[in-house]
């Protein structure tokens, strides 16, 4: 406990008495002592000092009022005036100024030198600091022991609460949702603090990302305990995340084998069943396309409830090469799962494109549902499945340089458009999208049919293709889809499957 003004007044060997004691002043902590006879000591004070003086400088009542107001504004814990050397009694103007400013004023007799008060206060502060260090070391030792004992988050928070004599300890998500309480029957929340009682909070960080917040009621007496507890908690979360990542990667490996047809349906059923996926039941696939390797998701606890359960994900979750996939069984709302997944990944620093497939059964249904969800994925909101595009499925399932393939076929159009602005590529896209019907295409592009005919002739000449031939139309449509899938500026679509 810090040394308070009332502790100084209660020490019989010092014989310090209160002259002016505003309400609550006795409970003010004293940070240090400062002996001064300066005309203006305020620039040399940091706050909560016991300012000791013999009032050697002669001051007018107005000057005492100005000094008392300045000291109260610092604020200092109190002013101690020593009597018997310069003044036999405290100056009446000082007492009046202290009363007016709400400044605590105490008096010490000539037989008690200021050095004695300073020594006593230093001893008290040293004892307080030593007790804080001892408490910190004891709490740190117990928390580390809990970390090594594998009692989990529950044991760590309970030990923290017991060691510090706290009423409640809470672990919340950064957004405020409560993840864990100690004791479990506590109803306290940081949003509803107890009047007159100070609480405390510390961020729990993993891989430089705040993943949770640790709250205590009341605040720990000694500084340093809560930040250390948050650090240890981060280590425990990171360790539990490593186990959870192993499960997700294992399911991801099996799912990759299923998607690429590397195992039989019978083997897929058996292996997926061991990982909690019952493929013969109807289920929906939610896919988050990251556009990058999910390495950070392997380290950062982006779904804390799964980490705290220590039993894996509530729904089968897989880490793939550039995506996260969640298998949602019938009876669970896939859209809600998708929204939660988007929030969790965003918290971990990933802006993922989210898509939801159709509910299907069987190993083949799992494959189709995955590619449906991936094709439907969008960055803003949740993309819902549409009839699966064959082009999107083919391009999404090939590990090929899509932009290069698209430009290999459509390069002459891209080059001509860049130099002349003839809009040949948009014309080709519109022509194919409108079933190669000239009248409908011209109307959609708001151009004359002769203009359309001229552009189509240019396209055929530049690409050496015949737009009346089905094979050439399919090849050009796939080339456009390749540009779109790769997110090439030459295409007009979003990154696809």
Please say which residue of 181, 208, 238 terminates a domain: 238
Task: Give yes or no: residues 212 and 102 share one domain.
Answer: no
Grade residue 497 by pLDDT with cuts at 50, 70 and 90: very low
Whether 18 shows a pLDDT value over 50: the answer reads: yes
Q: Confidence band (pLDDT; 50, 70, 90) for 389?
A: low
- Structural domain contains residue 496: no
Tell me the C-alpha distance between 496 and 374, whole Å.
Answer: 8
Residues 42-56, mean pLDDT to the nearest whole number: 93
Last residue of a domain, one of 80, 106, 122: 122
The domain boundary, picked from 396, 428, 458, lies at: 396
Report the phi/psi class of residue 220: left, alpha or beta, with left for phi > 0 and alpha for psi in -120 to 50. Answer: beta
Contact call for residues 400 and 489 (beta carbons, < 8 A): no
In a domain, 451, yes or no: yes
Instruction: Quote the CA–CA distance of 141 and 152 in Å, as a whole number.
Output: 16
354, β-bridge pairs: 288, 378
Q: Please tell me whether residues 93 and 173 are part of one structural domain.
A: no
User: Higher model confidence: residue 458 or residue 310?
Assistant: 458
Instruction: With respect to residue 295, please indicate whether it lies within any of the assigned structural domains.
Output: yes
| Number of domains into which the chain is organized | 4
The parent domain of residue 175 ranges over 148-238
Residue 45 placed within a domain:
yes
Q: Is residue 132 in some structural domain? A: no
Strands (E), 94-224: 105-108, 168-172, 178-182, 200-206, 209-217
User: Does 491 reside within a domain?
Assistant: no
pLDDT above 90 (res 69): yes
Closest CA to 316 of 350, 363, 273, 356: 273
Q: Please tell me which residue, 492 or 70, carries the higher pLDDT value.
A: 70
In a domain, 140, yes or no: no
Chain Cα centroid distance, residue 315:
22
The tens digit of pLDDT for each residue in 360-380 reads 899 988 988 998 898 889 988
Per-residue model confidence (pLDDT) at position 221: 76
Asked if residue 322 has pLDDT above 80, the reply is yes
Mean pLDDT of 104-133: 89
């Amino acid at each position: 406990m810090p040394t308070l003004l009332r502790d100084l007044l209660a020490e019989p060997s010092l014989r310090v008495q209160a002259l002016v004691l505003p309400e609550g002043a006795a409970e003010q902590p004293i940070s240090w002592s400062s002996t001064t006879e300066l005309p203006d000591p305020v620039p040399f004070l940091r706050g909560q000092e016991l300012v000791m003086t013999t009032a050697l400088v002669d001051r007018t009542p107005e000057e005492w009022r100005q000094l008392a107001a300045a000291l109260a504004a610092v604020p200092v814990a109190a002013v101690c005036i020593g009597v018997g050397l310069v003044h036999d009694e405290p100056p009446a103007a000082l007492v009046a100024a202290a009363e007016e400013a709400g400044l605590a004023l105490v008096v010490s007799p000539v037989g008690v030198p200021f050095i004695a008060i300073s020594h006593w206060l230093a001893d008290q502060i040293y004892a307080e600091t030593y007790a804080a260090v001892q408490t910190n070391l004891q709490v740190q030792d117990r928390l580390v022991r809990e970390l090594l004992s594998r009692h989990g988050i529950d044991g760590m928070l309970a030990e923290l609460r017991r060691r510090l004599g706290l009423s409640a300890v809470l672990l919340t998500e950064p957004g405020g949702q409560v993840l864990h309480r100690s004791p479990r029957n506590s109803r306290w929340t940081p949003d509803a603090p107890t009047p007159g009682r100070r609480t405390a909070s510390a961020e729990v960080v993993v891989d430089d990302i705040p993943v949770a917040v640790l709250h205590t009621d009341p605040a720990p007496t000694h500084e340093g305990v809560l930040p250390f507890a948050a650090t240890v908690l981060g280590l425990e979360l990171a360790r539990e995340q490593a186990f959870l990542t192993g499960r997700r990667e294992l399911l991801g490996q099996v799912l990759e084998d299923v998607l690429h047809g590397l195992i039989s349906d019978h083997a897929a059923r058996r292996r997926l069943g061991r990982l909690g996926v019952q493929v013969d039941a109807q289920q929906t696939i939610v896919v988050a396309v990251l556009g990058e390797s999910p390495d950070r998701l392997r380290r950062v606890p982006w779904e804390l409830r799964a980490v705290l359960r220590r039993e894996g994900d509530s729904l089968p979750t897989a880490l793939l090469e550039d995506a996260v996939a969640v298998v949602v069984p019938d009876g669970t709302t896939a859209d809600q799962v998708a929204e939660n997944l988007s929030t969790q990944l965003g918290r971990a620093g990933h802006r993922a494109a989210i898509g939801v497939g159709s509910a299907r059964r069987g190993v083949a249904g799992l494959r189709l549902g995955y590619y449906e969800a991936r094709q439907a994925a969008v960055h803003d909101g949740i993309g819902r499945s549409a009839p699966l595009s064959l082009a999107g499925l083919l391009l999404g399932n090939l590990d090929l340089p899509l932009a290069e393939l698209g430009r290999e076929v459509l390069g002459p159009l891209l080059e001509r458009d860049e130099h002349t602005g003839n809009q040949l590529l948009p014309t080709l896209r519109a022509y194919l999208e409108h079933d190669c019907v000239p009248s409908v295409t011209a109307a959609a592009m708001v151009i004359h049919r002769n203009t359309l005919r001229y552009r189509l002739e240019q396209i055929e000449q530049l690409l050496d293709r015949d737009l009346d031939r089905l094979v050439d139309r399919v090849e050009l449509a796939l080339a456009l889809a390749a540009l779109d899938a790769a997110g090439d500026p030459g295409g007009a679509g979003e990154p696809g499957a």
